[in-house]
Every structure is written in C-alpha cells, then in structure tokens.
Structure 1
Amino acid sequence: MFSESCLHRRGCNGAQDLEGVCAEHGVIKKNLVASLQDMANKSLLDSRLLEWADSLRVLGNQGAHFTGDAVSREDASDALALAEAILDYLYVLTAQFEEFKQRRTKKGQGQSHTDGS
C-alpha cells in the first residue's frame, strides 16, 4: 500500500500525467477539466470519465495548492483510479477495439456472404 504522502503526491502527478495525455492528443486548454471536456467533445473520451474528472476537480485543487484541507486516502485513490481509467480508455481499450475492427474487416473480406437461408 501507499503512504498518505505518497498518495497525495501521486494524485498531483496523476493530474500532470493527464495534462500530458491531453497535449499528446492536441488538446491544450486553460485547465485539465477544460482539456478533458474538449476531448469528450471530440469523442476521444467517454462522458462518464469526464463526469468523474469533474467530480474530482476540487480534490485536484486541494492537492495542487495549500488549502489547509487534507486529501483523504480514498480521494487520492480515486484520483489515481481515474487517471488509470482514462489511460486505459485512451490507449488500451482504443487499441484493442481498433484491432478487433481490423480483424472483423479482414474476416469479412475473405468470406462471401449469403442471404442466410
């Protein structure tokens, strides 16, 4: 398990990681939530991930700036889970889906189709 301070630092780094991912996809806005919103508008990101990111926005502000409010272990873990989910969605699931579509296209080209009777 991670210590509290490690989770807190990792949560902050997760936001930086996501800003880099947005930039890699050509999206650079005034803040991370605006960048993620733009990615969702471009159908690069699922709306549920955007909703999750927006819900954790306050947490990110607490982690990035001294507010006097402690970031809980659960919130820090959620921030890490969100970052992992976004990375999985953009890189792992997208690649798997593209491979699936290519495989199905090739399979369809190699077979003649009948009317099913």
Structure 2
Amino acid sequence: MKELAEKFLEKFTLQGHILSLIKHADIKVKFNCEKGSVVIQIKNGQMSILNDPEIICSEVKGDMQAIQQLFEGTETLRTLEKKGQLTVTAPLRTTLLLESIFFLTKAHENLAKVI
C-alpha cells in the first residue's frame, strides 16, 4: 500500500501544473484496504506520507484493486464510490479535491503519451 502511494507521489510532484490545486489545502487522508493503510498529508503546497499520523479527518476505504485504480488514475474517486467499491468519509470539498488530484495526475501522463 505504501509503495503504491509513494509511486503516486513521485508522479504528482513531477507535475507542477497541479501544485496550484493544493497551494492552500491542509488535509490528512487515510487510505485503507485489506493490505494496510497509508496517510497522505496535503499541506503548504506539498503532499507527503505521514508515518506517525495525528488526528485524521478524512478516510478512503476499499479493496486493494479499487485503491490501486484510484492511485493509477484508471478510475475516478466518485465513480468508485458510486459503484460501492470505495467508501469516502470526507467533506465534499475534500472529495472533489482528491478526485481532481488523482484525475489530473493521470490525465497529464496520458497527454504526454499522445504528444
């Protein structure tokens, strides 16, 4: 699980155009599946994995396949939620921010392949 999150963070940090989305965000999200969990913090325009999380307000829970689809950008957060593959416990604003981050990270990668 942590490996999947680390790969995503590597892709995300290479894409400067998305950094403006998280410029003023301050959230901690726990991603949870049967293979473990990982907490990602978005704060001060940066995204990182927390090893010793404090209070967590938001959580995305599902099976490993759904979490992997989300991190790889092959399916959107809200689509996975509507299909019942993920449970999202977060304010709508946080959910939309997460969906945008995951979608745009993958969309940029696909655009680079086309060009």
Greater radius of gyration (CA)? 1
* TM > 0.5: no
Bigger relative CO (Cα 8 Å, ≥ 6 apart) = 1
Provide TM-score, normalisation by structure 2. 0.36
Greater strand fraction, Structure 1 or Structure 2? 2
Greater helix fraction, Structure 1 or Structure 2? 1
